[in-house]
Structure 1
Amino acid sequence: MANSQQTSNPVNFVHQDEIWKAHLKTEKDSADLWPHKWGFLADVYKEYEEENAKLMESIKGGPLQQSTRSQTPPGKNTHVNPSPPIPKTSQGFVGWRSGHAHLQLEKYNMVNHRRRRLH
């Protein structure tokens, strides 16, 4: 009966403090070891940023920007079918276009996911 009166377990503050100190020590040790283990990533990232900046400068006025434009005029080869009527309920609104065969995303071929084995 005495245990039913107790609302929570007693808290050992010293034990909680030791756990917190262990977490802080682990975090500090990890921060000290990171440059020795993974410091090369910082150098590689700086090199990547420099190369990317040079590439972006060369692209700004170069021929690559002009070649990204579409060669066909818009609307010439594009045909959009009319949408089906809008459903009256919010539940019917979810997936209302994908239920029709001519509006589905897989236009050309079905995607088959066969069984995959590790062996």
Structure 2
Amino acid sequence: MADSQRTSEPVNVVHQDEIWKAHVKAEKDSAKAWPKKWGFLTEAYKEYERESKKLKEMVRVKLPHQVPARPPTPPEKCIHVSPSPPVPQTTQGFIGWRSGRSHLQLEKHSTVHHGRCSFLKELGWPLDACS
């Protein structure tokens, strides 16, 4: 970001090229040195792959090859939706036009009940027990 603000100063292209060459050389040297320092990880990974294949084969032998799948249940058996009333003429009437009708059974189990009782009443305490 600081480089983009300093547009008035000349850019030394040769110097930037030398920096780029140094980065590329460092990458190549790191790639050559990696097997000496970290090559043991590749052997550990190959051993892990072999063990994984053995375990997968053992599981395949234990499990039956053909497990019969249950056919999917059609949604018509579980979901029953009554036909909608006519679409309202105004946008204000469109808000909640299906949910306001109890015979359409939009609630899956029953109507929603919010708690209307007091904690103090549940305990049998007088209402002025807590101030």
For the aligned pair, the TM-score class normalised by the smaller chain equals 0.3 to 0.5
Greater RCO, CA 8 A, separation 6+: 2
TM-score (normalizing by structure 1): 0.46
TM-score (normalizing by structure 2): 0.42
In our comparison, the structure showing a higher alpha carbon Rg is 2
